[in-house]
Amino acid sequence: MFLKLYELYLAYKRRRRRRSRFLRLVNALKRRLMRDLTRAEGLLVTTRSSLLLAVFALVALPFATMALAVMFVSSFGALCVAAWLRLRAGLNRSRLYRQYSRVVPKFTTKPQASSTTVRLYRLMEESEARLLIKDINSRKDVAAWYAPTAFWPQFNRIEAPRLTCVPDVVLSESPVGFSAVGGDRFLQTFGSVEATIEGGDHFVTYSEHIKYRTLVDRYQVSPGAIDVVPHGANRLDDLIAVSGFPDNEAATDAFCVSRFESALGKAIGTQQPFNFDSGDVEFIFYASQFRPNKNVMTLLRAYNYLLKRRYVGHKLVLTGHPHSLPEIARFIREHNLQNDVLCLHGLSAQELAACYRLADLAVNPSLSEGGCPFTLTEALSVGTPVVMARIAVTEEVVTDPELQNLMLFDPYDWEDMAARIEWALQNKESLLERQLKLYERLAERSWKTVVNEYVAILDRISSPAA
């Protein structure tokens, strides 16, 4: 009997309740409002009429004022709640700030981190793409079209021969790392890249590795539809070369020191960057943004070991923003490397060349690239030896097995990286001598040659027989 009563009770609780007419009306109005807001959003970000924008501004002003008032009240209320919690629990100031930061919206964050901003940008991008495609397809004076990136699936709507450059699909090589820093935004980008590849006809890339490992094996693109055009030599020597002095080399070094001193003002996270400005500081240099595939953390582990266990007195100069990957800033702070690791963000081309010139050694630990990293020719062009990660795209260029053993290391093994860096610092002259022979061959390939090869591909795919 009790069991039957209990089952009846459960059935009563599970019964479908009919919502009141008022609630049904409210929900219907809410759905209608969201549809209208979405339509208004699309019209606002895609309009080219200044008059329409002005009308939008006048109509939206009362609502914007109300929204700001609500935000102000909620922010003030959140602050009062956080202060009350601090008085009650005896929290310190930093804890209060963290609580406040979690409650109050951060209006100064990067726009790409805002889902609303990204959504509006995508609407605007799609609208502009439609206009561009309409204009492109109306033109008969262009034989073929080229897209320098694979981020635009709209490119495939062009009704003419198309050549798409696919440097790499690095998001597929480091999915966990990119998901941690970009989340849905990078997932959308990855979807755009895949859509571009799946809808493309002709492709060009920088290495045989990307051609076969990524485009052929992963996306089943026909090998005949893919051309490989390697990079030209990325030379920096012309940016800093000084002539007309009795000792041009000394004059060039002095100029580089002055450029390096000016770059110190761009240091991020270093307590006293001008400790580096004596002009004779010895340092290792890695020029790269901080992204998951750049392998900066492994380099930092190797450097920390060299500094504190092998007593290598060199500094480490990087060019990324330490807070773009929080674990980098945290590692530098926790291991007290603020005055040994210098992060120079936003360097000019001359400042970059000066850093390469003054460095005792250039290093590149990257796990994956579309082609052989520019570090190789950039460093050698100004007379600085280089050690690099042993990855497929680098081995395509550095083909001598003996030279590979001298300058390449396992990018997944910080101890092997540290050993190769230490050896290179002790044998700079002999390593540079061997590498300059390679550089002489690589320097024969200019960027003009690269451009001519691209034009030849466009001519081929636009010919009637293609």
Per-residue model confidence (pLDDT) at position 59: 54
> What gap in Å lies between CA 445 and CA 424, rounded to an integer?
27
Q: How confident is the model at residue 76 (pLDDT cuts 50, 70, 90)?
A: low
Amino acid at 102: R
Virtual CA dihedral for 150, 154, 156, 162, nearest 10 degrees? -60
Cα 437 to Cα 5, 182, 359, 434: the distances in Å are 91, 41, 20, 6
Domains delineated in the chain: 113-228 (no CATH), 245-443 (3.40.50.2000)
Instruction: Find out whether 444 and 232 touch, Cβ atoms under 8 Å.
Output: no
Cα 60 to Cα 37, 63, 115: the distances in Å are 11, 5, 21
Strand partners, 363: 387
- What pLDDT, in 10s, does the model give residues 189-240? 888 899 999 999 999 999 999 999 999 999 999 999 999 999 999 999 999 9
Residue 104 or 159, more confident = 159
- What pLDDT, in 10s, does the model give residues 274-303? 666 655 789 999 999 998 899 999 999 999
Class of residue 448 by CB neighbours under 10 A (exposed 0-12, middle 13-18, buried 19+): exposed
- What pLDDT, in 10s, does the model give residues 7-19? 888 887 777 666 6
Cα 279 to Cα 81, 259, 311, 371, 451: the distances in Å are 53, 10, 21, 34, 39
Neighbours of 188 (CB within 10 A): 14
Per-residue model confidence (pLDDT) at position 82: 56
Our CA angle for 74, 75, 81, nearest 5°, is 85
Res 164 pLDDT > 90: yes
Res 435 pLDDT > 70: yes
- The mean pLDDT of the chain is 84
Coil, strand, or helix at residue 42? helix
Per-residue model confidence (pLDDT) at position 68: 47
Neighbours of 292 (CB within 10 A): 23
Q: How confident is the model at residue 272 (pLDDT cuts 50, 70, 90)?
A: low
Per-residue model confidence (pLDDT) at position 87: 57
Coil, strand, or helix at residue 267? strand
Residue 139 or 186, more confident = 139
> What gap in Å lies between CA 53 and CA 254, rounded to an integer?
54
Look up the pTM and report it. Answer: 0.77
Per-residue model confidence (pLDDT) at position 106: 44
Instruction: Find out whether 161 and 143 touch, Cβ atoms under 8 Å.
Output: yes
Per-residue model confidence (pLDDT) at position 336: 94
Strand partners, 344: 267
